[in-house]
Amino acid sequence: MKNELLKIGPITIYGYGLMIAIGIIVAYSIIIHRARNKQIAQSHITSLAIWGVLFGFIGAKLLYWITQYRNIIDNPRVLLELSGGFVVYGGIIGGILAGYVYCKRKRINFLQCLDLFVPSIALAQGFGRLGCLLAGCCFGKETHHWFGITFHESDFAPNGVKLIPIQIFESVFNFALFFVLIWLARRTRPDGFIASLYLLFYSLGRFVIEFYRGDLIRGNVGILSTSQWIAIIVFVVACGSLVMKLIRSKRVSYY
């Protein structure tokens, strides 16, 4: 695994950034394709994608700073390190909030748009974790099993130590989640149903995966990591949302 993939004069193409870019482009293309069957103007889709990505990155960075507040107090220069250090949950929250504000201002159906976007969010996350693999960040715990991987030129993971390839596991999980959500979205569902399923499945998968992460710098609260506590909250909220939607859909069918 090597983050510096190609150098063209003074320009360096990094694996992490390349995977993020590929993920965004592919995800956006799929959203546009699926939006043809929805009564949502392409201009709204493009604007939602831009604002979602922008505030997704801002949210991911802000949540990382929150988890690192002790290190920031000791070393404020951490705030200037903008190229690394993100928390996915912050990106999800930031992107969703940006989409909510945009939809409210433009008076369009927020939950319908969210259902349209979330499968592609999972897809983009799958590519993003491949970028993590190339960079060596978000690495797993040390292992002696045959499936372990060893980094030699990483600025993040410990080099020369066999680690659990957690980035690969999470990438496969996100790609699988994308296909499941796309398949489920083929049938008519209550608005917000697919989004709730995404949050439920992702939080559950992320909770389990966190036990095998080795980058403890992200912080813990008791025996669980910060991301695991967030996963518990998201899981409970998503379950509540699904239950409410199922109850309402049954009431509508009954009447």
pLDDT at 140: 93
Quick one: tokens of 232? 């518990």
Q: List, in order, residues 6 or more apart from 1 with CB less than 8 Å away.
A: 15, 133, 134, 135, 136, 149, 151, 153, 154
Higher pLDDT, 109 or 39: 109
**Residue 225 phi, psi dihedral angles, 5° rounding:** -75, 165
What is the SS3 assignment for 75?
A: coil
Higher pLDDT, 216 or 238: 238
pLDDT at 131: 92
pLDDT at 102: 96
pLDDT band at 254 (very low <50, low <70, confident <90, very high): very low
pLDDT at 29: 95
pLDDT at 78: 67
Instruction: Give 78-97 pLDDT, tens digit per residue.
Output: 677 666 678 888 999 999 99
Question: Does the pLDDT value for residue 247 go beyond 90?
Answer: no
Q: Tell me if 65 sits within 8 A of 75, measured CB to CB.
A: no
Q: Which of 217, 173, 188 is nearest to 72 (CA)?
A: 217
Q: What pTM did the predictor assign? A: 0.89
Q: Give dist(CA 64, CA 157) in Å, integer.
A: 18
Instruction: Give 105-121 pLDDT, tens digit per residue.
Output: 999 999 999 999 999 99
pLDDT at 47: 96
pLDDT at 31: 95
Question: Does the pLDDT value for residue 154 go beyond 90?
Answer: no
pLDDT at 55: 95
- 138 strand-pairing partners: none
